[in-house]
Amino acid sequence: MKATTTGGAAVEAAAPPSKARRRSRGEELWGWLFVSPMLLGVTVLVLLPIVATFVLSLADWNFVQGWDGIKWIGLDNFDKLLRDDLFLRSVRNNVIFLLAVPVYMAISMILAVVIDRHVYMKGFFKVAYFMPYISNIVAVAVVWQVLFHPSNGPVNQMLRALGVSQPPGWLADPNYALPSIMLIVVWTSIGFNLILYMAGLQSIPRDLYEAAEIDGASGWVRFARITVPLLSPTSFFLLVTGVISTFKVFDIIAVTTQGGPIGSTSMMVWYLYDTAFVNLKVGYASSIAVVLFAFVLLITLGQWAAQKKWVNY
Amino acid sequence: MTETAAAFSWKKGILTAALLVLSLLFLLPFVWMLVTSFKPESEVFVYPIQWIPKQWNAVQNYSEVWAGSYPFWRYYLNSIQVALITTAISVAVSSLAAYGFSKIRFKAAGPLFLIVLATYMVPHQAILVPQFILYRRIGLFDSHLGLILLGSFSVLGTFMLRQFFMGVHNELIESAKIDGASHPRTFGSIALPLVRPAVATYAILRFIWTWNDYQNPLIFLRSDSLFTIPLAMQKFTSMSGQFYSLIMAAAVSAILPLLIVFILGQKSVIEGIATGGVKG
């Protein structure tokens, strides 16, 4: 092939139209061939299932009944959802859980600024704060469950030693279970947010700070007027992915509380899982899936609309 | 500026000390886990916490985890097999598609890419039930192959690699074409080597995500012998009940190898996450 390099180019230049058409037909074929494995996988494993989810949400059906057991009941499942206390509680817990997102974003942003400019041993801190993110969430959840053990756990023993006579039961207490899980999620999420904020800081020109300093702006003013606005694209990205990820919280609940005690940590995905794979109500679970999909879709579409307004580029 | 860059700054020193204290919040749970995994059960909850065990029970604890009734060596082999094959297939499928969408001019490229991208908005949990029914029907339920296929078609990977392929100059592709190279050849010997760092980063991330995945094994596996580490970790915990030293030995076994890989390769992992802005 190599020997014909120049000759090939000459032929190409003088190629008659029919050859060009054949070439573009070749492009069509190769294009489809290259993308077809991906297309096939996405069609079979995502597109068909999402259509099936919408169809099944209109049915009353149990796994064990077989296809003959399907009853089509229109929108009854959604009607039932609106009056299902545990579902409404799960949605409410999801909404409460959103509070964790700004909390870990704020901590991460401050940590990023401090680590980036104002400390020694940068590399060590990056790794230390990132460790929880890289660790297996199941193992992390199990460790925290033991640390939070109501009677013997190190956390409560320390609190008692500090004079707290009635420390909370953490994951075992309906009033504290959800905040405890949020605390663990904040703990695991800081690393990822921190890394992205540090990357964002690299793109802020240094002369901005120098100019502000010459104008007499204090450290706080520089942070509020330069750093925060110029990090807004990163913040926006983290906010959207963070909000979407709270709607997908599952692993940590499955490992620690299984939605309990008394439904206090039930979230939408946990309730979906419980309905589908423990209670085997396929139709009802599918209607929860449709609601979940709608939430994520709304956030994603809202993101596009809001991006232009709020983000300083 | 009165200080030179090399001089020790008190402000910096104090902030470093403060952050060190704060980082204890992140490190101590790991240290506690490690220390507890070496202790006999009777000393797990002794307070004040013994950061250096008085009695060592490490050999017994770890042999129970690695060779007991839930032998971790088997789950390690399962996890390695699933994670490696998933990563290999996913990298192949995504880089082929990414090249196709960015470097081959065919009419359907735009619309097809939009369709693929749109599926990224579908939360995985919204399609679990139909996937489960499908897997039961076609016999992929309770098999490693089924698990591997679930992780093999990554929209994120395709999107990420497409960005990098777009950075490869079209002149390179065109001149290869003029030289008579077909697309597979251009892809394999010109385009792919040029984006190798991006491919490596994506491969590392895909490996970590697959290794840590809990939800898919939980739903699509049933036989103990097929379990991957996270699922085995959870089963081991519920079986071991109150034996917290054993549970911590299992947790160490589940976390440590990946942590070592991460600390060794932290530069590319952290940079990959920072540039890709991706989330598992």
Cβ distance A152 to A213 under 8 Å? Answer: no
State the pLDDT at residue A93: 95
A-B contacts (CB, under 8 Å): 275
What single-letter amino acid sits at A260? Answer: G
DSSP state of A67: G
A127 part of contact set with chain B, CB < 8 Å:
yes
Identify the closest residue of chain B to A63 by CA–CA distance.
B133
Same domain, A127 and A251: yes
Q: In terms of Cα–Cα distance, which of A225, A234, A175, A172 is closest to A203?
A: A234
State the pLDDT at residue A277: 92
Structural domain count of chain B = 2
Same domain, B47 and B96: no
Instruction: Determine, yes or no, domain membership for B261.
Output: no
Which A residues, 13 through 42, put their C-beta within 8 Å of a C-beta on chain B?
24, 27-28, 30-35, 37-39, 41-42
Instruction: Determine, yes or no, domain membership for B267.
Output: no
The residue-averaged pLDDT of B76-82 equals 94
Instruction: Determine, yes or no, domain membership for B56.
Output: yes
Instruction: Determine, yes or no, domain membership for A78.
Output: no
**Is the pLDDT confidence value at B53 over 70?**
yes
- A71 bridge partner residues: A60
- CA B240/CA B237 separation, integer angstroms: 5
B174 band by pLDDT with thresholds 50, 70 and 90: confident
Structural domain for A202, as ranges: 98-266
**Is the pLDDT confidence value at B103 over 70?**
yes
B125 part of contact set with chain A, CB < 8 Å:
yes
**Is the pLDDT confidence value at B64 over 50?**
yes
Residues B26, A129: C-beta atoms closer than 8 Å: yes
- From the list B47, B125, B178, the residue facing A292 with the nearest CB is B125
State the pLDDT at residue B2: 44
Helix (H, G, I), strand (E, B) or coil at A71: strand
Same domain, B201 and B142: yes
State the pLDDT at residue A15: 44
Q: How many CB atoms lie within 10 A of CB B206?
A: 24
B169 band by pLDDT with thresholds 50, 70 and 90: confident
Residues A35, B212: C-beta atoms closer than 8 Å: no
- Write the CB contacts of B32 (distance below 8 Å, at least 6 apart in sequence): A143, A147, A154, B49
Same domain, B107 and B214: yes
Instruction: Determine, yes or no, domain membership for B212.
Output: yes
Same domain, B141 and B229: yes
Same domain, A113 and A229: yes
Cβ distance A255 to B232 under 8 Å? Answer: no
Same domain, A158 and A231: yes
- Distance between B123 CA and the closest CA of chain A, angstroms: 6
The residue-averaged pLDDT of B17-34 equals 91
DSSP state of B280: -
B275 part of contact set with chain A, CB < 8 Å:
yes
pLDDT per residue rounded down to tens, chain A (313 residues): 334 344 444 444 444 455 555 567 788 899 999 999 999 999 999 999 999 999 999 999 887 777 778 889 989 999 999 999 999 999 999 999 999 999 999 999 999 999 988 888 888 898 888 888 888 888 899 889 889 998 888 999 989 989 888 889 899 999 999 999 999 999 999 988 998 899 889 888 888 888 998 888 888 898 998 999 999 888 988 998 899 899 989 999 999 999 888 889 999 999 999 999 999 999 999 999 999 999 999 988 888 788 777 665 5
B275 band by pLDDT with thresholds 50, 70 and 90: low
Residues A134, B269: C-beta atoms closer than 8 Å: yes
Same domain, A21 and A156: no
Same domain, B47 and B138: no
B187 part of contact set with chain A, CB < 8 Å:
yes
Residues A146, B247: C-beta atoms closer than 8 Å: yes
Instruction: Determine, yes or no, domain membership for B58.
Output: yes
A68 part of contact set with chain B, CB < 8 Å:
no
3-state SS record for B174-220: HHHHHCCCCHHHHHHHHHHHHCHHHHHHHHHHHHHHHHHCCHHHHHH
Same domain, A39 and A102: no
The ipTM of this complex is 0.85
Instruction: Determine, yes or no, domain membership for B279.
Output: no
Which A residues, 249 through 308, put their C-beta within 8 Å of a C-beta on chain B?
250-251, 254-255, 269, 272-273, 276-277, 282, 285-286, 289-290, 292-293, 296-297, 300
Q: Mutation test of the interface with chain A: which of B3, B19, B102, B221, choosing the one with the most A Cβ atoms within 10 A?
A: B19
Structural domain count of chain A = 2
Same domain, B37 and B112: no
Same domain, B44 and B133: no
Mean pLDDT taken over chain B: 87
Instruction: Determine, yes or no, domain membership for A136.
Output: yes
Residues A180-198 as b/e (b if ≥16 CB within 10 A, e otherwise) read: bbbbbbbbbbbbbbbbbbb
State the pLDDT at residue A151: 85
- CA A115/CA B12 separation, integer angstroms: 10
A10 part of contact set with chain B, CB < 8 Å:
no
- CA B248/CA A147 separation, integer angstroms: 11
State the pLDDT at residue B217: 95
Same domain, B50 and B162: no
Same domain, B88 and B210: yes
Cβ distance B273 to A175 under 8 Å? Answer: no
Q: Give me the residue label for tokens 């029907």.
A: B137
- CA A235/CA A238 separation, integer angstroms: 5
* pLDDT tens string B213-272: 999 999 999 999 999 999 999 888 888 877 889 999 999 998 887 888 777 777 767 777
Same domain, A146 and A256: yes
B54 part of contact set with chain A, CB < 8 Å:
no
Identify the closest residue of chain A to B94 by CA–CA distance.
A38
Structural domain for B58, as ranges: 10-65
The alpha-helical segments, DSSP class H, found in B37-154 are: 58-67, 72-103, 109-118, 128-138, 144-150
Same domain, B102 and B57: no
Where residue B234 sits, what CATH number does that domain have?
Answer: 1.10.3720.10
Cβ distance B140 to A59 under 8 Å? Answer: no
- CA B71/CA B78 separation, integer angstroms: 12
CA-atom Rg of chain A in angstroms: 27
State the pLDDT at residue A292: 95
Instruction: Determine, yes or no, domain membership for B189.
Output: yes
A201 part of contact set with chain B, CB < 8 Å:
no
State the pLDDT at residue A3: 40
Instruction: Determine, yes or no, domain membership for A76.
Output: no
What interhelical angle do A100-117 and A177-202 show, nearest 10?
Answer: 40
**Is the pLDDT confidence value at B76 over 50?**
yes
Instruction: Determine, yes or no, domain membership for B260.
Output: no
* Chain A residues inside the 8 Å CB shell of B92: 37
A236 part of contact set with chain B, CB < 8 Å:
no
State the pLDDT at residue A78: 95
Same domain, A253 and A114: yes
Same domain, A27 and A154: no
- CA A44/CA B27 separation, integer angstroms: 43
Same domain, A139 and A248: yes
* pLDDT tens string B234-249: 888 888 877 889 999 9
Cβ distance A109 to A189 under 8 Å? Answer: no
Residues B104, A31: C-beta atoms closer than 8 Å: yes
Which B residues, 127 through 156, put their C-beta within 8 Å of a C-beta on chain A?
127-134, 149-150, 152-153, 155
Q: In terms of Cα–Cα distance, which of A284, A282, A275 is closest to A76?
A: A284
- CA A142/CA A148 separation, integer angstroms: 10
Same domain, A146 and A235: yes
